[in-house]
Amino acid sequence: MKIVVVGGGSWGTAFAALLRDRDHDVTLACRDPEQVRAIEATGHNPRYLTRADLRGVKPVTVENAPIAEAELIVLAVPSRAFADVAAALPGGEAPVLILTKGLDPGTGSRLSTRVQDRPVAVLSGPNMAEEIAQGLPTATVIASEDRKLAERLQEAINSIVFRVYVNDDLVGVEICAAAKNVIALAAGGVDGLGLGDNAKASLITRGLAEMARLGEACGGEPETFSGLAGMGDLNVTCYSGFGRNRRAGELIAQGATADEAAAQIGQVVEGLTTAPALRDLSHRVGVELPITEGVCRVLSGESLDKLLASLMGRQPTDE
């Protein structure tokens, strides 16, 4: 397939290389012309996953991306830029595969709803870009309301190191992808305060329950939250040393502001953008998300110690 990957960050870089390894004709569209020139000259991304081999991937600027000739458009851009990038796509029939994990911060809507007049699918799961770039095995899920599209993409992407499953629950997969980053911020806070494995496991488990409540209220299927997009992605995001959201939560617990944590990490921390959008979505559908509410309060300046006391002091109830 002729595929254009829009977004030259870590995930876009790793996914472009993965598609190249499946013998597709891959173009990587980057925002910065200097980044494009460096990839052309060296076969490596100078900023992200610098050891990943991009030979055979054609780098271009976003303005010069051959969207009209593409048979598949992959969007791997930050959630805050997603709506603008999607709106700028010219008309055409090529499907869009979304790698971005978050909600549209302007409207709080799922990102797939921002893609107009094209078939759309979402890829999500425990997919740390750093490990994928090293050729380490993982599994993922592709969700779409168009089952044939999901199956076609499954066939095109599945490999011995990247096992692809198909899921019909587009809503649930997108809610999982957004919510897990917010829970990972809280899990990082547990790490930063040195509260131990019991506390972290408890928080992740209750975080999964939050994700499931919100997802079902939005129309998602319960089974999705125990699958790769739910429990799988949540676990790796909360425990991996590569997890930006976990690391940001850890830094904030140790005294950094959200902006300072993001600057130290040097890459997009989606949970910082998604947390208020997720909270506002929960208010609209009438679902209680105490961990997400707590993350938002911490990002607004409340101390983690005070948040911990409020969470642990809530009225006991049934699981």
> What pLDDT is stored for residue 317 in this prediction?
76
Mean pLDDT in order along the chain per 10 residues (319 residues): 97 98 98 97 96 97 96 97 95 95 95 95 97 97 98 98 97 98 95 94 95 97 97 97 96 94 95 97 96 94 76 74
Question: What does the radius of gyration of the chain's CA atoms come to, in whole angstroms?
Answer: 19
What count of other Cβ atoms lies within 10 Å of the Cβ of residue 107?
Answer: 13
- For 238, counting Cβ atoms within 10 Å of its Cβ (0-12 exposed, 13-18 middle, 19+ buried), the class is buried
- Report the amino acid identity of residue 258: A
pTM: 0.94
> What pLDDT is stored for residue 302 in this prediction?
84
> What pLDDT is stored for residue 281 in this prediction?
97
> What pLDDT is stored for residue 189 in this prediction?
93
Q: What DSSP element (H or E) covers 75?
A: strand 72-75
Choosing from 58, 180, 200, 306, the catalytic residue is 180
The encoded tokens of residue 86 equal 């999607």
Catalytic, 200? Answer: no
Are 169 and 224 in contact, with CB atoms under 8 Å apart?
yes
> What pLDDT is stored for residue 240 in this prediction?
96
